[in-house]
Amino acid sequence: MKMLVLGGTAYLSKKTAETAIAQGWDVTVAARGESGEPPRGAEFLRVDRSEPDGLDALGDREFDVIVDVSRIPLHVKRAVEALADRTRHWVFVSSISVYNDYATLNDSLHDPAPDDRGEVTPETYGPDKVACENLVRDRLGDRSAVLRAGLIVGPGDPNDRLGYWTLRTAEGGPMLAPGRPGRPVQWIDVADLADWILRVGEKGTSGTYDAIGPVVSMAEFLETVRSAMPSSKQAVSVWADADFLTEKGVNHWAGPDSLPLWLPDDYTFMLMRPFGPAKDAGLRTRSLAETVLSWWKGYLDNPDVRLAAGLTREKEGAVLGALLQRNRTWEVPAPKTGKE
């Protein structure tokens, strides 16, 4: 199988290319080459889709499968215009950020961004991905698949949302845990998603799917991480309610001063997308324990890495101390009887 990966030098797209190479595919990676090194064994072509002639380096080549993870509508527009007739199947990796309402479980989408938008911001991520999806479907029809990825975790994750909990659990002791223990969470291992992308392309699977694993509770998530770690230390979850965490300057979801995977209540259904359709279409998911151990192995190879998400130990200690102070109950002395 001949595959073109538009990108292929960072995280998911690179993992997809590496997986294809390991399976004996003939892989071409086309990118600017600014996000990292192309995988060993792939042909690398330097392209720049911000330029009108940016794909000329591909010449008139044809491919069995093209994979694109772009979030920039103009880049996707130029790619489908140039390459749609030169591939058997197109797999576009989108995002569950295309949905515009997470207070309920529904399929309502953001209005699409203009399809010639070439500059994007974090605030326009959802509308941009909607526009990209439409461009692929409109041009390739049932020769395309759109995979709306949820939270992608595993080795190489630049956002470190799983990494924070894995490393923090390994350190043991009282561990600040966010919100309700029963709050739902979801994720997909980057290796599982890469493998599914290849099978979708190889089989010519068409349609739109949420690329995400089963739902579990946050308490179950943390317990599984703890159980998976090869450590004699025992992290004990200390749960704090949302209002208290917000008051103490703890952030949601990702980034500095955050408790990863924690979301406001009106985002509850962001991490409750249906897993069944993707499973029926061939998505296979490994256990969380396997994902945790894969991340941990990568960390041991590079223990000086600085995590992009989570609380510092100083910040966590201060919040835990404030929580203890708030929850402390004082014994009321028994009244004196005069007979002492």
Which CATH number is 167's domain given?
3.90.25.10
Query: Considering the chain, what percentage of its residues have pLDDT values greater than 90?
Result: 85
Q: Check whether residue 124 and residue 182 sit in a common domain.
A: no
Domain count, the chain: 2
Q: In degrees rounded to 5, what are phi and psi of residue 182?
A: -85, 5
Rounded CA gap, 328 and 218, in Å?
Answer: 25
Residue ranges in the chain modelled with pLDDT below 50: 330-332, 340
Crossing angle of the two packed helices 125-140 and 73-83, in degrees rounded to 10: 10
Q: Check whether residue 11 and residue 133 sit in a common domain.
A: yes
Q: Give me the pLDDT at residue 328, please.
A: 75
Domain boundary among 120, 149, 178: 149
**172 backbone φψ class: left, alpha, beta (φ>0; ψ -120 to 50):** left
| E strand segments, the chain | 2-6, 26-31, 43-46, 63-68, 87-95, 144-149, 152-153, 173-178, 184-185, 188-189, 207-211, 216-217, 235-240, 251-253, 258-260
Q: Check whether residue 167 and residue 231 sit in a common domain.
A: yes
Q: Check whether residue 124 and residue 167 sit in a common domain.
A: no
Does 36 map to a domain? yes
Domain boundary among 96, 126, 149: 149
Q: Check whether residue 113 and residue 175 sit in a common domain.
A: no
pTM for the whole structure = 0.93
Rounded CA gap, 235 and 217, in Å?
Answer: 18
Q: Which two tokens stand for residue 26?
A: 């003939």
Does 118 map to a domain? yes
Q: Check whether residue 67 and residue 171 sit in a common domain.
A: no
Whichever domain contains 89, its CATH number is 3.40.50.720
Does 339 map to a domain? no
Does 247 map to a domain? yes
Domain that holds residue 125: 2-149
**pLDDT per position as a tens digit, 236-272:** 999 999 999 999 999 999 999 999 999 999 999 999 9
